[in-house]
Structure 1
Amino acid sequence: MIVAILDTNGAGLGQSIIKKIKQEICADINIIALGTNTFATSKMVKSGAHVGISGEKAICAFCKKNTADCIIAPIGILCNGEKDMELCPCICKAVINMDCTKYILPLQRYNLYIPGTRELSIKDIVDEIIDDIKSKL
């Protein structure tokens, strides 16, 4: 199974997800770190990702190949290049057009609110994603 994880800036969330996958899933999972910058990518690779891909062109090329079984991305991926974001329209479109399961992390940012998620912690959301990935192995 190939799991892609997209993160921006310092990749704190991506690092946490990678560590959780490594701890909880013993199966043969190939983790691909998709960082919008080299700093984010290197942080995710240091956390255990098998491959790191950095920058707009490389991420878009990866997504167009549709080689992942699933991708985990922040809610900003739905904003199509919203102001003050590292997720440009090209990346947003490439991710949304992938033919795989997309796990969207409903962070309380960008003036987007998903009803029903207010009481959920990021830890709870990540746990639910990990459980779903486990069920597909």
Structure 2
Amino acid sequence: MRILVIDGQGGGIGRSLVELLVKNFPDAEVGATGTNSIATETMLKGGPSFAATGENAILFNAAEADVIIGPAGIIMANALHGEISPAIAMAVSSSKAKVVLIPMNHCRAYIAGVEEKKVAEYLQDAVDIIRKIAEK
């Protein structure tokens, strides 16, 4: 299974996701793609199989992934303070991959029905969702 983590800004959410995914899915190829070099550098500390930076890297890898995971803003053009281009949002939302989104209120999107949790709890929920995907 090929899991692609997408993050921007400082890459902290992405790093936490990479660490959890590498630990929970040792046979998976976990890739880290950042919208900027700082995000990618931070995610590298989580031990991904590969890492890449920028719009083209995200577009290419989104087409190759089985699962894409990141903050909810990765499907919204201009989210993450403008770091998610319309092309990135389109690539993620039109990919054949399963997409797992972490609800983050600073993406200007509020998801009705989602209970308020700590980020660590959302990340564990995401790992559990990917585990169900992997079992199918």
TM-score by length of 1: 0.87
Q: Structure 1 83/3 Cα, relative in aligned 2: closer, same or farther at 3 Å? A: closer
Partners of 2:6 and 2:74 within 8 A in 1: no
Cα deviation code 1:80-101 (max 9, x no counterpart):
1248321111111111111011
The number of aligned residues is 134
Equivalent position of 1:33 in the other structure: 32
Partners of 2:75 and 2:88 within 8 A in 1: no
Residue ranges of structure 1 left out of the alignment (5+ in a row): none
Large movers: runs of 4+ above 3 Å? none
Equivalent position of 2:94 in the other structure: 97
Residue 21 of structure 2 is aligned to residue 21 of structure 1: yes
Residue ranges of structure 2 left out of the alignment (5+ in a row): none
Two-structure CA RMSD over aligned residues (Å): 1.7
Equivalent position of 2:71 in the other structure: 74
User: How far apart in 1 are the matches of 2:23 and 2:56?
Assistant: 31
Task: State the AA in 2 paired with 1:131.
Answer: D
User: How far apart in 2 are the matches of 1:85 and 1:69?
Assistant: 26
**CA-CA distance at 1:12 after TM superposition:** 0.2
Task: State the AA in 2 paired with 1:81.
Answer: N
**CA-CA distance at 1:52 after TM superposition:** 0.7
Q: Equivalent of 1:113, from 110, 113, 120?
A: 110
Equivalent position of 1:88 in the other structure: 85
Q: Structure 1 113/37 Cα, relative in aligned 2: closer, same or farther at 3 Å? A: same
Equivalent position of 1:57 in the other structure: 56
Equivalent position of 1:124 in the other structure: 121
User: How far apart in 2 are the matches of 1:116 and 1:93?
Assistant: 25
Q: Structure 1 106/10 Cα, relative in aligned 2: closer, same or farther at 3 Å? A: same
Please give the secondary structure, in 1, of the residue aligned with 2:101: strand
Task: State the AA in 1 paired with 2:127.
Answer: I
Cα deviation code 1:44-77 (max 9, x no counterpart):
12211111111112211222xx221100021112
TM-score by length of 2: 0.88
Equivalent position of 2:47 in the other structure: 48
Structure with more helix by fraction? 2
User: How far apart in 2 are the matches of 1:42 and 1:35?
Assistant: 8
